Structure 1
């Protein structure tokens, strides 16, 4: 009897299990289809995109994890001794540079787009050219001109009346003012380009309505134009402030200490726990700035209707034309003519002294190799994320996209520190190879490839995908064989942007490069630090020439 009951009970359990298992499967399948709005991607495509997003986020997560377990004593010591001063140095510099670039960028955009300044088409290109000069290269040229033994001092000493009137040469480029000047002159185009794009799209009807109410030109600017420009100014300002937070080369050249320099030097002294603590504080600063910007953008929204769009008026400068032309010329001279002229001067000396030797070409080949490999990886990794976001929108794809942008919003020194922790402790065979440098570049610059690819995918009708799927193609094959050939120009443009950005990247290369693997950016940093300008200038000039590629892309875009 007991055996019979036991047998009957087991049979009932089996039936219940058989019924429950399909029920659970149906439940999870229904939930899965609901997430994707009944259009889920193939599992292979989804897993590949998810793996890429996880790789992009691992360095940041690892740095945060290490900092949280750095120990109370270390946290307390840094909070008492280092962090307050670093906060002041970093935030004061970021705030000052952001405000100054907003003023310069908006004023130049207004002059070039809205006034009758002579040669306005040429000025539109020329005033964007500081983007071709990495700020650490600009710092080198300013040291050559304004340093303690620079050209400005020689000119000062050769002018007796200046010495008699003002005393000995007193410009100190190694100061807050020097760092502020360099970063302002080479980052204002972020605001200038975006503000120019907004000014070109501004509807003339609003201004004419304001003029009909008796407002003057200045009142129209402050009450009509400026509110409509706020989103553009905010977007440019956030780019500038994030750049200043993450800059290492300029502040290291000019011996000014912010969080990035402190993190680098803590890592150089093998105090990785303190470097992780400082990195966490910098991450929190970055997140806070992004949060403030997003809140401000949500509260200030200004819309224009396009059905009655008319081009904006061109204002006559009249008697102000010489003063405006002088202002524009001074900015152009200080940010373009002066640095490029210095580089050409010292490059000629370097070439005569044999700077273009096998050693120089070795640096160039290393730069090409690691930047080219990073560009290929970015083109490969960007495709599944772009395709998932564009064709399979859901909460999951939004998370994947946000994780993929994690490295772009943070300084290269933090991304590099995360790679140091991961590869040194868990993958030592890869640590000290150029592959780790290329992978760090991918984490830093993958969003550039994604942005260029998204623009191309948006021009391809989803019906093409549907037609391919109806023929039996899985999603990954549709992406590779149908969509990729149609969006190849955008993918290649993104790869080009990554390539030139990787050539200019300094802190990640400094921290992760293997022995005897110096790139052009690294050699510029070391040679300039030793005041060997005839060796630093050719490498710096080559970086500037290569940087013309993204400038052309940005000018087409904006």
Structure 2
């Protein structure tokens, strides 16, 4: 009898503890188990890297620490810092010119300066190699110009260098800073600047002491996005023959040294976590609030004699980052089409890209719903863990995600290894957070009272989510699906490592053909990817 009462007491205690965790509002088990399963799949890459690196052996760790890791750390960190600094400078300056000054053509320039987001950096790297490379267009023009050859000497541009790689990444990452800072500048209250002006501050002092501190959170957010992108980029870096952690991990995997690849992946994950920790710390220390009741639009400053130099600067950035790549791609696409590059094989690559992107976007929209609904409607410690795990794949390079799935599917689910399905699942892990972000934004606008009304009619939580909540937040979910669709079409490293034999996408063909300098075959595929990317860019520009 005592044991029976004791067991009942334990059960009652656990039940009350469970209810208290959820603040007296526990979710249904179907919803919780579904969200937990999704989070577990998303955590596979990190779990794999930790597991494999611990069993790599001290000799492997010692050899990499003494040999590869210091050089890779220097290459990766120095590249990340330089790209971040210059992206911030260019992005903030352009945002300031467009939002706060009377620069000519500002309505047109506002859209044009965001267009580099259309161009995947590995595509941009191909076009810059064609234009600036040793056998490129600029080098040919330089050689044929006797005046320049005599005055300066040999062709001075080395695109396959640290500064060449930095230049490529800067041109295609500054829009992250530009868009976020532009949004903050538009919301800035004019009252604070006028108060500073009344205290005798000049324009430079107002910018340094009032405006710049208010922009620190948005500048920090843009800088973090740029840093994470540089850490995870593989395509552009591989094209430019520069070795960072992502390239080294890929080369170790292709040489079947999985232990070394796991060790290098763990170091790269540590770098990513450090950046995310810095972001969280900066968010806590940099909080600025404005009173919306007294909001007044910010002042528009007159540039005077600096108006046309500022315009030339903005047009120059747009020309180098958008016009030049598009011009090169159109030129080589015309040649490629004339030589029969757009044939049945090309359409097969396009179909493969369309197929995987469609499947991934639909599954991401469906998979994001349980996690987002659980997070927004049932906050708890368990929910936070599920949410963090669900975002794990987005913070990791595609190479690491691919490594995790190679290990798991090869050892535990061999029937799916080397199939289309492993590629789709890996891309879901990479891009599910994009769908989740849009879903969260849409769900935050729906009152919880709608859910309560449905629950009072006897609907379980999972049925409320799919039959009541989803129809009301469908536009936001579809917007997230559009972002996932294009991200999947452009994705390179995970697809490169996981694709089954004969399954090539547009991104893979661009990488393969451009690596062998067969530009007339790479250009049409690159141009098609850019054209498809217009859809999510419009969504982002409407948002910001």
- Asked if 1:423 corresponds to 2:428, the answer is no
Matches within 5 A, 1:448-527: 448-527=434-513
Aligned 1:431-442 pairs, distance under 5 A: 431-442=417-428
Q: Deviations over 1:78-130 (max 9, x none)?
A: 00010000000000000000000000000000000000011111111100000
Cα displacement (A) at 1:170:
2.3
Q: Distance in 1 between matches of 2:387 and 2:276?
A: 16
1:192 paired to 2:207: no
Question: 3-state DSSP class of the match of 1:116?
Answer: coil
Deviation at 1:293, TM superposition (A): 2.1
Alignment of 1:218-233 (within 5 A): 218-233=204-219
Aligned counterparts of 2:23 and 2:473: Cα–Cα separation in 1: 25
What is the aligned counterpart of 1:279 among 265, 271, 294? 265
Aligned counterpart, 2:27: 41
Q: Is the 8 A contact 1:448 1:497 kept in 2?
A: yes
Secondary structure (helix, strand or coil) at the match of 1:508 reads: helix
CA separation in 1, counterparts of 2:265 and 2:110? 38
> Once structures 1 and 2 are overlaid, which stretch shifts more, 371-380 or 136-145?
371-380
Question: How many angstroms does 1:341 deviate by?
Answer: 0.9
Larger radius of gyration: 1
Cα distance in 1, alignment partners of residues 498 and 416 from structure 2: 11
Displacement after TM superposition at 1:63 (Å)? 1.1
Q: RMSD of the alignment, in Å?
A: 0.8
Name the counterpart of 1:546: 532
Q: Equivalent of 1:374, from 349, 355, 360?
A: 360
| Separation (CA, whole Å) in 1 of partners of 2:298 and 2:51 | 52
Deviation at 1:488, TM superposition (A): 1.1
Of 279, 282, 289, 1:293 maps to 279
Is the Cα–Cα contact under 8 Å of residues 231 and 246 in structure 2 kept in the other structure?
yes
Q: Is the CA contact 2:217–2:282 (under 8 Å) kept in the aligned structure 1?
A: no
Alignment check: 8 A CA contact 2:217 2:283 kept: yes
Contact persistence 2:186–2:297 (CA under 8 A):
yes
Assess if the C-alpha contact under 8 Å between 1:59 and 1:422 holds in 2. no
Q: Is the 8 A contact 1:260 1:413 kept in 2?
A: yes
Deviations 1:351-392 (A, max 9, x none): 111111000000001111111111111111100001101111
Contact 1:263 1:278 survives alignment (8 Å): yes
Within-5 A mapping of 1:63-78: 63-78=49-64
Measured in 2, the distance between the counterparts of 1:425 and 1:268 equals 18
CA contact under 8 A between 2:96 and 2:182: conserved in structure 1? yes
In the alignment, the residues of structure 2 paired with residue 511 and residue 264 of structure 1 have an alpha-carbon distance, to the nearest angstrom, of 8
CA distance in 1, matches of 2:187, 2:243: 41
Q: Which residue of structure 2 lines up, in the alignment, with residue 123 of structure 1?
A: 109
Whether the 8 Å CA contact 2:336–2:520 is kept in 1: the answer is yes
Q: Is the 8 A contact 1:449 1:494 kept in 2?
A: yes
Structure 2 match to 1:407: 393
1:50 pairs with 21, 26, 36, which one? 36
Distance 2:172 2:370 in 1: 34
Q: Counterparts of 2:523 and 2:531 in 1: how far apart (Å)?
A: 12
Look up the SS of the partner of 1:407 in the other structure.
Answer: helix
TM-score, normalised by the number of residues in structure 2:
0.99
Please say if 1:164 is aligned against 2:150: yes
Q: Larger deviation: 91-100 or 460-469?
A: 460-469
3-state SS, counterpart of residue 366 of structure 1: helix
- Tell me the TM-score normalized by structure 1: 0.97
- 2: CA distance, partners of 1:174 / 1:375: 35
How many equivalent residue pairs? 544
Q: Does 1:135 align with 2:91?
A: no
Aligned to 2:81: 95
**1:269 and 2:255 correspond:** yes
Q: What whole-Å deviation, never above 9, does each CA across 1:306-335 have from its counterpart, x for those lacking one?
A: 111000000001111111011111101100
Q: How far is 1:301 from its partner? A: 2.0
Deviation per residue, 1:479-519 (Å, 9 max, x gap): 11111111111111111111100111110011100100000
Structure 1 runs not aligned, ≥5 long: 1-14
- 1:557 matched to 2:543? The reply is yes
Deviation string, structure 1 residues 239-269 (Cα, Å, up to 9, x no partner): 0000000100011001000000000000000
Separation in 2, partners of 1:222, 1:331: 25
SS in 2 for 1:443: helix
Please point out which of 169, 185, 205 is paired with 1:183: 169
What does residue 201 of structure 2 align with? 215
